[in-house]
Amino acid sequence: MNATTRNRWAFYGRRSELDALREILRRRRWFFLKVSGRRRIGKTSLVQQALTAEGRDKVLYMQVPDSDPAGVVSTARDFYDLFKVDATRPTDLRSLAVSIGDLARQGYVVAVDGFQYFHRKALFEFTSHLQFEVDQLARDAATVRGGVIVLGSVHTEMAALLEDRDAPLFARLTHSLDVPHLDIASVLEILRAHAEPDSERLLFLWNLFEGVPKFYRDAFEENVLASDRRELLRELFFSSSSPLRTEAENWFLRELRGRYDLVLKYLARHPGCTNGEIHAHARSVEADSEKQIGGYVKVLRERYQMVEQLQPIFAKSTARNGRYYIADNFLRSWLAALSAPTASVNFKPVEDLLREADGRLADAEGHGLEKLVGTLYEERGRKGLDGFRLTQRIQGFWDRGDTEIDLVALNEYDHIVRLGSCKRTAERLAPDFGRFDEHVARFVERAARVRGWRVEKAAIATRHTTETRRAAERAGYIPQDLEDLTANL
């Protein structure tokens, strides 16, 4: 890599999503497209990249504020001016919808970001006005050369506006696109271009940023993507101008008004906890709060999709031994390791806070490694790369409090089950082999579905040494590290 490459940020990954968007734009026919995904995931950049690639110059982009009708209309008028749109400026929500319809007839692509805010009671009437315009545009689809793209980050509110049977815009979409995290191959592409894709850096950054391109770009723009851990943390979180210092607050914590503390912080620091453990924690903090915990967890799971409940492999979805996790790596890392130290910068030496935050992140990387390894197994299987022939999504196994297996991978073609033990530090694997063998024996006894299958045991670490590989092989394990699992990605 050369200095020029390192000094230029490019568009990374998203090949299939970009192709799908370009195909919609290439037809130059009416379309009504929903683009959804978490905040900062790159929805707007993806749309912009597709519009540029297809040479669509008649574009109006507007960002809806969380405001009242007057605020929305005023902001829309600002965007009309910014994009030099030759059209009458809207004066209310109805005329805004009419104007969007007129622009689509003129061949404009109108992108409305923050569309989920129209779920607010004060703004909801806009969806009825837009429905009227969309229906007319659909009837004239053969002659309409433009379209409307609505972008949003709160899944349940976008679904309520566009997929609920009672919603005015129900069944009006012509296309829908969900923008996921960047895959590991794309993260490696970023690291190869701007840093070094070594295993420790990959785990550190992925556990912190997962596949959110904006965060990697922030690190690039602060010139710390290739820096050591504490320097990156200092520039991104601990300086007065740090770009990510208030990210979590701006994302959701302000909206939840502090209720996250009881549930989310506990989940972040105890990944894989049970429902009983959550309630016990609630009782220990505030006896009267326990009755509300179930409601909090439901909102965090269903509305915000910040919490996920996972069942052990082969378990029914209604089984009572599910475990709870923070779904998003950045949120988990923030709550587990960064929120308290960054709040203390005016009261303690920054070096002490960096040491504390880095240590907490290192602890969080234990669970992060398990998640990363599972993601890599799935990505390699999806791309048909050499290695394990995966046929079912990676999951762990736990049972009766006496059995714990980090990774269970199935090859149903050849009747092979691979059971993995994951440790951030390779030297910690060998002392645990005897205990893990007992867990494997109990799994084989209880998992009737794989009875008679060949059982493989994997010893997985961030990075193996020659000695730790040999120790694993002597004990009957397949040694794997992140360098093995990212080969050819």
* Domain termination residue (choose one: 369, 384, 399): 384
Same domain, 259 and 160: no
* Domain termination residue (choose one: 323, 350, 384): 384
pLDDT at 2: 42
Same domain, 271 and 349: yes
Q: What percent of the chain has pLDDT over 70?
A: 96
End-to-end, the C-alpha distance of the chain in Å comes to 18
Same domain, 315 and 440: no
Same domain, 372 and 293: yes
Which CATH number is 394's domain given? 3.40.1350
Same domain, 380 and 402: no
List the structure tokens of 53: 């690639």
Asked, for residue 7, whether it belongs to a domain, the answer is no
What whole-number distance in Å separates Cα of residue 181 and Cα of residue 39?
A: 11
Same domain, 266 and 351: yes
Report CA-CA distances (Å) from 463 to 161, 423, 471: 47, 10, 14
Asked, for residue 10, whether it belongs to a domain, the answer is no
pLDDT digits (tens, 9 = 90+) for 70-88: 999 999 999 999 999 999 9
pLDDT digits (tens, 9 = 90+) for 18-74: 999 999 999 999 999 999 998 889 999 999 999 999 999 999 999 999 999 999 999
**What is the arithmetic mean of pLDDT over 151-178?**
92
pLDDT digits (tens, 9 = 90+) for 192-236: 999 999 999 999 999 999 999 999 999 999 999 999 999 999 999
At residue 259 the predicted structure's pLDDT band, cuts being 50, 70 and 90, is: low
Same domain, 264 and 360: yes
Same domain, 160 and 76: yes
Same domain, 187 and 311: yes
pLDDT at 254 over 80: no
Asked, for residue 6, whether it belongs to a domain, the answer is no
Provide the number of structural domains found in the chain. Answer: 3
User: Which structural domain range is residue 422 located in?
Assistant: 386-485
Asked, for residue 1, whether it belongs to a domain, the answer is no
Asked, for residue 9, whether it belongs to a domain, the answer is no
**What is the arithmetic mean of pLDDT over 464-485?**
98
Got the DSSP string for 23-36?
HHHHT-S-EEEEEE
Q: Where would I find the H helices in 146-274? A: 155-162, 184-194, 199-209, 213-221, 229-233, 247-248, 254-256, 260, 266-269
Asked, for residue 481, whether it belongs to a domain, the answer is yes
Residues sharing a CB contact under 8 Å with residue 353, sequence separation 6 or more, in sequence order? 238, 341, 342, 344, 345
Same domain, 218 and 343: yes
Asked, for residue 306, whether it belongs to a domain, the answer is yes
Element (H, E) at 143: none
Which CATH number is 36's domain given? 3.40.50.300
Asked, for residue 54, whether it belongs to a domain, the answer is yes
Same domain, 93 and 109: yes
| pTM score over 0.85 | yes
Same domain, 118 and 138: yes
pLDDT at 255 over 80: no
* Domain termination residue (choose one: 327, 352, 384): 384
* Top-ranked range on mean pLDDT: pick from 121-135, 277-291, 387-401: 121-135
